[in-house]
């Protein structure tokens, strides 16, 4: 039997402890599946004395993750601290410099520094694996990098932030406004310390940018992800969208088009009956579309100790088995700069407006749409007691520019009250 594979684990929070548990509880299983022993040699965390749900007394202790990364007695540096910069970055760089392979759950780190880290690792003949960084326990990095590697990828989509999906689902099911559910989620401990990472789509955007790099052979370009959070999603639109057969999801979409690479993380409507539309609560879902395979949908837990540790361990096992795959599925130096698409591909849009109860009002709205080159798929006007009536329109495919033109046009008609809401309908 070959030498044991020796791990140094940086970070003993929920995920780190989960990894320790798997290594301890499944030693024999791991030996059978990898042909060698997986051993934890050393660990690091902020506080050595903290009460943890795992026995770490048998491992060497380092207070400084950089020191851990450089230890002679580890082969793989497991980074489960988090944070785009600071110790996580310094320690990962140190690990590569010291000739270690790296397994990380850190989406922020890779979204911001993935290209540089991948180049450094490949120059040093080391690998960086990051299954746990995207969609928790769903083995989507592997599915994309390996399972679909015979395909030219066309589109990658996903609901990849469980907290946002929990909030949107709960708003719909309980009929509560965003602010109330946000507060609930905060009290339940579902939100990151900085909640904007969740609700502004940043965390999910990090994940999307990593999948896009693998899918399209482009350098990670998180800065090019068009981000829009869920803070403006109203309970009214959730209800109206449901009336029209849709649900609102914080949906990430990356696709390569003739106009460049599109990367969007934003509230979208999807058919309520589609797998994405059916997704409730904190579960994640990723949709991969390739030219040969068609559409593959993967669904599973996007966070939590067990699922995330499972993903970390899949990378450790891959390394233990001797597999050496480039960070983003092809050599980092062969990844090209993504040309960001200036505008999103055409799509149907959902429009909601308050129409004043005046003769000819609807005709004026229809004329504005016609002038903007937008045709109507479906329209619904609701009964009203007030001076204005809610009107919903589902358009045929059009551009965001045309929609913005129409919205300005509505304002000028004098028959549309307040701001018209427009939300993209993603065809899934």
Cα–Cα dist 99/122, whole Å: 10
User: E strands, 151-245, where?
Assistant: 153-159, 226-227
The residue (of 99 and 322) whose beta carbon lies closer to a second copy is: 322
The CB-based long-range contact list for 62-70 (8 Å cut-off, 24+ gap) reads 62/8, 65/10, 65/11, 65/90, 65/91, 66/90, 66/91, 66/94, 68/8, 68/10, 68/42, 68/43, 68/44, 69/8, 69/10, 69/94, 69/95, 69/98, 69/100, 70/94, 70/95, 70/97, 70/98
Q: How far apart are CA 344 and CA 401, in angstroms?
A: 9
What is the smallest separation between the CB atom of 415 and a second copy, expressed in angstroms? 41
Give whichever of 266 and 284 is closer to a second copy, judged by the CB atom: 284
Q: Quick one: which of 14, 151, 234, 388 contacts a second copy (CB under 8 A)? A: 151
Of the residues 100, 107, 207, 219, which is catalytic? 207
Contact pattern from residue 54 through residue 93 relative to a second copy, giving x for each residue in contact according to CB under 8 A and a dash for the rest? ----------------------------------------
List 7, 109, 309, 368, residue binding a second copy (CB under 8 A) = 309
Find out whether 257 and 163 touch, Cβ atoms under 8 Å: no
Q: In whole angstroms, how close is the CB of 296 to a second copy at the nearest point?
A: 4
- Whether residue 207 lies in the annotated active site: yes
CB of 392 to a second copy, least distance (A): 26
C-alpha closest to that of 337 among 166, 218, 177, 204: 218
Per CB under 8 A, the segment of 49-57, 65-73, 141-149, 398-406 that binds a second copy is 141-149
Count of C-beta atoms within a 10 Å radius of residue 51: 5
User: Does 2 sit near a second copy (CB under 8 A)?
Assistant: no
Residue 388 within binding range of a second copy, rule CB under 8 A: no
**Which of 325, 362, 366, 376 is in the footprint of a second copy by CB under 8 A?**
325
Task: State which residue, 147 or 346, has the beta carbon closest to a second copy.
Answer: 147
Of positions 37, 64, 146, 226, contacts a second copy by CB under 8 A = 146
The reply to whether 4 sits near a second copy by the rule CB under 8 A is no
Among 50, 334, 359, 418, interactor with a second copy by CB under 8 A? 334
Sign of CA dihedral 170, 175, 179, 183: negative
Q: Does 36 bind a second copy (CB under 8 A)?
A: no
DSSP string, 220-233: --GGGSEE--STT-
Catalogue the E-assigned strands of 274-370: 283-290, 294-301, 349-356
> Does 282 participate in binding a second copy (rule CB under 8 A)?
no
Question: Would you say 107 or 129 has its CB closer to a second copy?
Answer: 129
Contact assessment for residue 413 and residue 368, using Cβ atoms and an 8 Å cutoff: yes
Vertex 324 angle, CA 322 and 327, to 5°: 145
Which residues contact a second copy (rule: CB under 8 A)?
18, 22, 26, 29-30, 32-35, 131, 137-139, 142-143, 146-152, 217, 273, 275, 278, 290-301, 304, 306-307, 309-314, 316-318, 321-325, 329-331, 334
């Amino acid at each position: 039997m070959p030498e044991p594979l020796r791990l140094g684990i940086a970070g003993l929070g929920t995920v780190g402890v989960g990894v320790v548990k798997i290594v301890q509880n499944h030693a024999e299983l791991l030996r059978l599946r990898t042909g060698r022993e997986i051993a934890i040699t050393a660990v690091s965390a902020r506080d050595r004395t903290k009460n943890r749900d795992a026995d770490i007394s048998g491992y060497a202790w380092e207070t400084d993750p950089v020191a851990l990364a450089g230890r002679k007695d580890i082969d793989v540096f497991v980074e489960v601290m988090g944070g785009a910069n600071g110790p996580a970055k310094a320690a990962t760089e140190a690990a590569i410099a010291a000739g270690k392979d790296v397994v990380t759950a850190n989406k922020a780190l890779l979204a911001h520094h993935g290209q540089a880290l991948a180049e450094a690792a490949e120059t040093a003949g080391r690998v960086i694996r990051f299954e746990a960084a995207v969609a928790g326990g769903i083995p989507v990095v592997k599915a994309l990098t390996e399972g679909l590697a015979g395909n030219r990828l066309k589109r990658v989509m996903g609901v990849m932030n469980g907290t946002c999906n929990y909030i949107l689902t709960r708003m719909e099911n309980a009929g509560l406004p965003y602010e109330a559910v946000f507060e609930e989620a905060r009290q339940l401990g579902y939100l990151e310390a900085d909640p904007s990472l969740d609700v502004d789509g940043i965390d999910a955007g990090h994940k999307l940018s990593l999948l896009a790099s693998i899918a399209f052979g482009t350098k990670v370009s998180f800065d090019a992800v068009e981000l829009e959070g869920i803070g403006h999603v109203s309970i009214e639109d959730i209800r109206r969208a449901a009336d029209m057969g849709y649900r609102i999801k914080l949906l990430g979409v990356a696709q390569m088009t003739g106009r460049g690479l599109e990367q969007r993380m934003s509230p979208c409507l999807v058919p309520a009956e589609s797998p994405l539309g059916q997704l409730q609560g904190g579960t994640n879902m990723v949709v991969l579309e390739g030219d040969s395979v068609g559409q593959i949908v993967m669904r599973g837990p996007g966070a939590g100790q067990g699922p995330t540790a499972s993903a970390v361990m899949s990378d450790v096992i891959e390394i233990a088995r001797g597999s050496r795959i480039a960070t983003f599925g092809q050599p980092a130096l062969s990844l090209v700069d993504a040309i960001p698409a200036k505008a999103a591909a055409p799509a149907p849009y959902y429009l909601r407006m308050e129409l004043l109860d005046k003769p000819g009002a609807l005709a004026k709205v229809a004329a504005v749409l016609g002038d903007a080159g937008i045709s109507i798929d479906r329209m619904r006007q609701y009964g009203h007691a007030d001076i204005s009536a809610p009107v919903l329109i589902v358009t045929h495919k059009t551009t965001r520019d045309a929609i913005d033109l129409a919205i300005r046009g509505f304002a000028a008609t004098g028959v549309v009250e307040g701001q018209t809401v427009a939300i993209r309908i993603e065809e899934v």
